[in-house]
Amino acid sequence: MSMEAYNQAKKIILSNAELSDFVGPRSRELIIQAEEKLGLKFTGSYLDFLLSFGAGNFGSQEIFGIISSDFENSSVPDAIWYTLTERRESNLPNNLLIIHDTGSDEVFCLDFNKIDNNEPKVVSFLLGVDLDKQKYEIIANDFGDFLLDLVKREL
C-alpha cells in the first residue's frame, strides 16, 4: 500500500507548485554519505523522497531530508543534522531518523528497527523525556502514508 500512498502524495506535491518549497533532488552519493554518517540505510518511499525532493515544505508542513553534505552546520529541514544533534542532546536512539517536528517537544521519526517491506514505521519521540518513558507511538505505517496525510492537510 505504501508506495501507492507515496505516489499519490508525490502527485499532489508536483501538481501544487505554489505550495511546494523543496531543495530538489539529492544525489545517490550524498544520500550514501548521510547513511554512513547515521549508520542507517534509507529504503522505499523515503529514499524516493530524497531522490525526488531532498527536503523542504509543502504549505506549512516541513518534511526533513537531506540538504548538503555539511551535516554538522545546518538547520531544519535537515534530517541528518537534526538527528545527529538530538542523538547528542536528547538521547535519541540510533535507530530513529527525525523527519518532522510537530512544533512542541514531539518529533516524528522513521524507526529503522520496525521495518515492513523496506518501509520503516513512523513513530513519535518526545524530546527531553527519558527513554524508559517513551511510548514510540506509531503515527503511520510508513513514510508514504505519513506524507499523504501531511500534504492532504494543506490542500
- Give pTM, 2 decimals: 0.96
What percent of the chain has a predicted confidence (pLDDT) above 70? 99
Question: Helix or strand or coil: residue 104?
Answer: coil
For residue 16, the Cα-to-chain-centroid distance in whole angstroms is 20
Q: How far apart are CA 19 and CA 22, in angstroms?
A: 10
1 pLDDT band, cuts 50/70/90, is: low
